[in-house]
Structure 1
Amino acid sequence: MARRIDPYSLRLFVTTAAEGSIARAAAKENIAPSALSRRIADLEHAFDVKLLVRSPKGIELTHAGVVVCERGRQFDKDLQTLARDVLELDGQVGGVVRLFANMSSMIGFLPERLKAFSALHPSVRIALSERDTSDVVRACLDDETDVGVCVKTDSSAGLECWPFALDPLIVVLPNRHPLSREDRLGFATAMDYPLIRVHPGGALDNLLGANAAKIGKQFKPAVVVSSFDIACRMIEVGLGIAVMPQSAATAYAGSRKFVRRPLAETWAARELCIYALRKSPRHRAVQELIEALRG
């Protein structure tokens, strides 16, 4: 092959394939879309084959693009491993550590611990991605991430697990709501009022739906939103109430416009855990991050 394959361009192509959009991939990799597009064009020139087809709806991989994406993903993983191994030979802690985390851990606990970790290990870059709990666990099992933080789950056989934080579910209400006089609220009582659904299909949404079915009620929220901050805006103007993690309520519903009450059910006592594929030895940067997250 006449031209050399640039590893960075290959990584950008893999990210673009995963995101399904040049614009989203550029934002994730912190590069201008035009520069990313040129990198992919250079990669196609190096392979002398079309890798993707662009359209107003996004991108679609060619057959060659699918092969390059699959091999490129493994190549990037091996390259990051090589970089960490070489640094460790020199006694340094560096390289890239992949971290997948669910929404509530990213809102309430991770930022401060990651900031402290980065101060101690400036040569380590954290590749942080938000995922649902089920996707975090699956990524750990498939070795697609080095560390995962999410709600404690029973479907984690084959992974090492450490406590991360307690993040119980609470009910967030607008000030002067009829239920604000209660010290704690049962889920059935909360369901008698208009509910706000957050992140349909996520772990919390599925949990609420399953427990509504157990008590013979239909989980039919009045408003559906994608995030906890938007849910709190809806609560603030009186469009409904919501069950959410304490971390999210602390971040977005801490003013006097809101009332927060514990959810009485035992299943509301959620625990967040750190997960990692069982490995021995484990890369030093990954192990250092795990120790930092454990506090």
Structure 2
Amino acid sequence: MATDLINPARIDFVTLRLFCAVAQTGSITKGAERCHLALSAASRRMSDFEAASKAMLMERTAQGVRLTPAGHVALQHAMRLFQGFELFSNELSEYSSGSRGHVRLWANMSALVEFLPTALAGFLKRYPETRVEVEEQLTGDIVRAVVEGVADVGIFVAGAPAHGLNVRPYQTDQLVVLCAQSHPLAEHDEIDFKNCLTHDFVGLNRGSSLLNAIATAAQEAGFPLRLRVQVRSFDAMCEMIAANLGVGVLPLGTCARKLKPWGLKAIRLRDAWARRELLIATSANRTLSTSAALLVEHLTRA
């Protein structure tokens, strides 16, 4: 019957802690001392606890108190409650300290390939209970996601509108022209981008900041961009370029390991726009969680 249930509002953790202390010491006086309570207050709490429990939990004797069978059952449940509360407190403490949490990080392809693997590995080694959910997205989508709260942290190329965001420098990447070793451009070590525009290009799909950058540079140079192949990843670009289907512009860090094995040549671009700054962004209107703030600090220092 519901009317026979103990009213939890009449029992608090101070009383439960006192009951456990009395049971362990066999004395209300010693239990009160352990819990830093006056004896009169402790006696009143034990009486109220028994009244709320609707059972006699302790037998008072000249030697102290001893638990009744009902008291032993009450002690077992009280200990479980304290263990649960301790776990609850410890886990919340881990979240507040940042050692446990969930962070949603959206980054462009360049950051994801060049810089984040090592940086995230270091962060997760230090905070193994933190889950970092990483998505590769286009710059415009990253900005919107951080502003709208879909992502906690964003990383993208400087130059995108950043209204509603707090931004800070993250890394810089150097763009190069990538071609097959047999391509006519392979004789160069450095080149101006306009001198590449008589050749076919392999590029990323529309909407990428990198494609927009080279399209703008081609327009400013007064040449059309001869985009022959469009793909979705840097690896696919390298495959197409290695097959001599065109040249491409990529961050050096995304293709450096593939140069010799794939028969590719990276040619440094002299153009100022070819050195790009990556930014870390967070919302200017939301407070970061401790875990997200720790991640931003780690990435900035890395």
Residues 1:91 and 1:215: Cα distance change in structure 2 (over 3 Å): closer
Maintained 8 Å contact 1:93/1:123: yes
1:200-234 Cα shifts (integer Å, max 9, x gaps):
22111112112211222222312222211111111
Partner residue of 1:282? Answer: 288
Maintained 8 Å contact 1:107/1:251: no
Partner residue of 1:259? Answer: 265
Maintained 8 Å contact 2:176/2:251: yes
Residues 1:275 and 1:89: Cα distance change in structure 2 (over 3 Å): closer
Partner residue of 1:111? Answer: 117
Partner residue of 2:234? Answer: 228
- Cα distance in 2 for residues equivalent to 1:101 and 1:86: 29
Partner residue of 1:272? Answer: 278
| RMSD between aligned residues | 2.2
- Cα distance in 1 for residues equivalent to 2:135 and 2:232: 17
Paired AA for residue 106 in structure 2: F
Between the two proteins, what is the percent identity of the paired residues? 30
Q: Does residue 246 of structure 2 align to residue 237 of structure 1? A: no
TM-score, with length taken from structure 1: 0.67
Maintained 8 Å contact 2:142/2:154: yes
Counting matched residue pairs gives: 212
- Cα distance in 1 for residues equivalent to 2:260 and 2:164: 39
Q: Does residue 212 of structure 2 align to residue 206 of structure 1? A: yes
- Cα distance in 2 for residues equivalent to 1:109 and 1:116: 12
- Residue aligned with 1:250, SS: helix
Q: Aligned ranges for residues 1-295 of structure 1 at < 5 Å?
A: 86-87=92-93, 91=97, 93-255=99-261, 257-278=263-284, 282-294=288-300, 295=302
Residues 1:280 and 1:88: Cα distance change in structure 2 (over 3 Å): farther
Which runs of no fewer than 5 residues in structure 2 stay unpaired?
1-88
Larger radius of gyration: 2
TM-score, with length taken from structure 2: 0.65
Paired AA for residue 234 in structure 1: M
Maintained 8 Å contact 1:100/1:130: yes
Which runs of no fewer than 5 residues in structure 1 stay unpaired?
1-82
Maintained 8 Å contact 1:200/1:226: no
Maintained 8 Å contact 1:229/1:252: no
Maintained 8 Å contact 2:114/2:254: yes
Maintained 8 Å contact 1:105/1:149: yes
